[in-house]
Each structure stands twice: as structure tokens, then as C-alpha cells.
Structure 1
Amino acid sequence: MCYLCSIVMEKIVFRSRVSVWLCALVYALLAAAFWPIVYDFSWSLLLIFLLTVGAVSYGFFGITYTIEGHVLWVRMLGRQRYDIMQLRRVASTRTWIAAPAASTRRIELLFASPSTPLIISPCHQDRFIACLRQVNPAIAVKLD
């Protein structure tokens, strides 16, 4: 599942790619964890379940990557700033490391500083990388 990006006042916003099977797995685990609600109904447990489902849904569908000038903003639960001019390499990855990515089809962004790579999963990956390279043509790209 993929949502289109939007261009607003020199900002380019890309949504995260969302793996349907990953969503189904997480929601199935949530349903299994809260299955006792069916046998021993409780309004407080139902409220906790609904809040948990809402938070997980926001986690899946609220991830965005915004390119604004020389800055890449990553928004998941908070907002992180990365300098595109410090970006050295973009490569494909299938890592399961926790990251602001709602899909297993991910790319790894390696910056000069910090040395820890940023793992993301933007929709329209080729267009996203082209936008990054438009800002910083020195970015090395290694895709599978």
C-alpha cells in the first residue's frame, strides 16, 4: 500500500510505504493480546485496546519524510532533522532493525555524522532518491 507524495511550498513530502502483511501481523497480535475482552468484558480494557490500536495505526500511517531545502525531516512519533549535504550513501536493505519505516522494503541512508545509518521506506523510492540527489549530487546510490 502506498500513498502519493505532495509538494507544498518547496517542501516535498513522501509517505512511508506500508506492508499490508506487516499490518495484518501486528493487528492480529494485538487482537490476540486483548482476546480476554471477549470473555470478560471490561470498558477500561476496551478503552486501552482502542487507544493501542489508534497508536499503532498512527505509527504505521503517520510516518512521513519531508525534503525542505537541504534538510530531511523524518516524522514518526516526533520529528528528526537530517542534513542532506551530510548524506554520503543510499543503499537497499532488508534489515529488521527498528526504524521509522512501516515496510520491509527499505533503504539505508548513511550520513557523515551521525555514523548510525537511518533506515526508511519511502513510497516512490526512485523519486525520493532523485530529490535527495538534486540537493546533493555527491550521494552514492547502491540499489538491488
Structure 2
Amino acid sequence: MIINGKVLSINISETKGVIKNPMNAGEFIENFGLKDDAHSGKWHRQVSLLGVESINKMIEMGVKNLSFGKFAENITTEGIRLYEIPVGTKIKIGETIHEITQIGKECHTGCAIKNQVGKCVMPKEGVFSRVLKGGIIKIGDIIEEYCDKAV
């Protein structure tokens, strides 16, 4: 699988289960996630990613007022079917390296995102990663597969 996409938005929130606010760049900390984000920590879902293609599916179904971060994703991407990337794949985003750890998630009861949006694509198309190498990610950064094997 060829992974070739870009970052459209970096999004952050201080509380879990709420819409995240866009920012121009974010500092991602090794084995932790996005600095100051509620979902960061030493676990397997440090960073959440969702493609604009998934957001557009919701818009086509008639959901209005969707913006980046509305599904609580840390990184909004373009050009990749994230949910087709196998768990364990390493990707390079800006200065960082991530490992895909989970595809989809179960929505919790009373989820603010589902309540506000009506539906949620995260359970099937959202992807989670852990940060293997920290650094800065900016809007427009390239997303590609990372190969750590010597050639």
C-alpha cells in the first residue's frame, strides 16, 4: 500500500469527548501524543487521525456545519484511506514517526460528538497511533510510510 497524503489540520482539546479546536502546528511528544491534549498519555491511542474524505461522506449524507476537529481527531488528513492502513504500520508525519495501533473505536455513551453531529465516522474510519519519534507537525506536512530498515 502506498501512503501519500498531507495534513489539513492539527486539533486539540483539554477535555475528552468534546470537539477539538484547530491550530496551525502541534508539538507531538514521543510515547505521549500531542502536547496539552486530553487524549495524550502512555497508552496505545495517543493520537487520533481522520481523513477529510470520511468527513465529506458525512456532508454528503446531509450533516451540516462540519469542520476540522468536530470528530475530536487530532490530525485531519487528505489523500489517504487511513482505515485501510494495517495496524503496526509506521508513518512519518512532519518531523514525527507514528505507529498505527487501532482502526476505529467504540463510541462511549453520551458522546458529545455524536450528540452534536448526529452520526460519527470515528467508529469505523478513525485511526489511532502512538508517537515513536516526537517533533512538530504543521498544516501541509506530508504523510508517508516510514521504513526503518536499512537498504
With the shorter chain as reference, the TM-score category is: under 0.3
TM-score when scaled to structure 2? 0.27
TM-score for both structures, normalised by structure 1: 0.28
Max Rg structure: 1
